[in-house]
Amino acid sequence: MEQQPLLTVQDLRTHFHTENGIVPSVDGVSFTIKQGETVALVGESGSGKSVTSLSIMKLIEDPGEIAGGKIEFEGTDLVKESERKMRRIRGNDIAMIFQEPLTSLNPVFKIGNQLSEMLILHKKMSKSEAKEKAIEMLERVEIPRARDIYNSYPHSLSGGMRQRVMIAMALSCDPKLLIADEPTTALDVTIQSQILQLMREVTNNFGTSILFITHDLGVVAEMVDKVVVMYAGQVVEMADVYSIFAKPKHPYTKGLLDSTPKIHEEKDELESIAGVVPNPLEMPTGCRFAPRCPQVMDICTQKEPHLLDEEDGQVRCWLFAEESEGVANA
């Protein structure tokens, strides 16, 4: 019997109401995450990755709203849940770590106070139990002198150490799903590697599912099971990590891979994708990637492609649609 997904995002649409009109930041996004699976949401800034993650947590604030779709977590549609119920789910069943932990940690409270508070709130522990559990979690994410760090303020720690604290905090209540939004972007390469290794160990030791959000395909190569590539609020390709790297289909995915530095290649300058992500208030007619696409055809500027099922995944591109040949050559 096939395992039911832990999380199912179906036709998610998240809009922001502005003076100039409605901005569809997330426009019909669908994907699933199984128990113990790590899935990467990949795309440039403005592609809708972070808004997707905030939608899952129901942290979209006015003037934004979840305009449609389902977010089923263990069979329950979170879109229909009350804020009171969501407060119990956040930090307990679903936890999140952010790009810059200094903005997530309260600067006026010691690390230990912030860790213990979550355990007291969600796990109903006594203060002494919460303290010991908090120190244990700091040790599990390989923080040296955990008891000293417990009594330290966030500003006294390095960026990498703060990120470890955030991971310890996120894991302290044994969440079933961990959302990591660009967790290594603000860190140097050596620390990046350590944090990624730590997150790999999280899935192995805790059985936690991870939604990993990044603009860099290079950091996900050895870490994730499945890749969801987003562009201008839509999913343009989805496949297992091997297929994405070995046989990328969408021209945008190929562009992201080509713009990733490779140690074994000597180039005077990095390749890049021409142009920029379109203004969501002025989406191009047809395929949203068409103005930047090196393989653009006539149909691409006339009609929007659907997400097509392929043998090893899905792709939103007229190059893989049977009717494209007749229209393109007309």
**SS3 track for 149-203:** HHCCCHHHCCHHHHHHHHHHHHHCCCCCEEEEECCCCCCCHHHHHHHHHHHHHHH
Burial 15-31 (b: 16+ CB within 10 A, else e): bbeeeeeebbbbbbbbb
301 lies in some domain: yes
Quote the pLDDT of residue 269: 66
Cβ(25)–Cβ(53) below 8 Å:
no
pLDDT, tens digit (0-9, with 9 covering 90-100), for 22-78: 999 999 999 999 999 999 999 998 899 999 999 999 999 989 999 999 999 999 999
Cβ(72)–Cβ(10) below 8 Å:
yes
- Cα angle value 304/305/311 (rounded, 5°): 170
66 lies in some domain: yes
- In a 10 Å sphere around its CB, with 0-12 CB exposed, 13-18 middle and 19+ buried, how is residue 231 labelled? buried
Amino acid (one-letter) located at 321: A
3-class state of residue 212 by DSSP: strand
Q: In angstroms, rounded to a whole number, what is the distance separating the alpha carbons of residues 217 and 177? A: 21
Q: How many CB atoms lie within 10 A of CB 107?
A: 9
Count of domains for the chain: 1
What CATH number has the domain bearing residue 88? 3.40.50.300
190 lies in some domain: yes
The ranges of the chain with pLDDT < 70 are 1-2, 101-102, 186, 261-270, 322-330
217 lies in some domain: yes
Tokens at 6, concatenated:
């832990």
Amino acid (one-letter) located at 149: I
Cβ(316)–Cβ(288) below 8 Å:
no
45 lies in some domain: yes
Domain range for 188 = 7-93+175-328
Q: In degrees rounded to 5, what are phi and psi of residue 239?
A: -165, 170
Nearest to 240 by CA among 252, 227, 251, 231: 227
146 lies in some domain: no
Quote the pLDDT of residue 324: 47
256 lies in some domain: yes
138 lies in some domain: no
**Cα dihedral value 232, 167, 93, 86, nearest 10:** -60
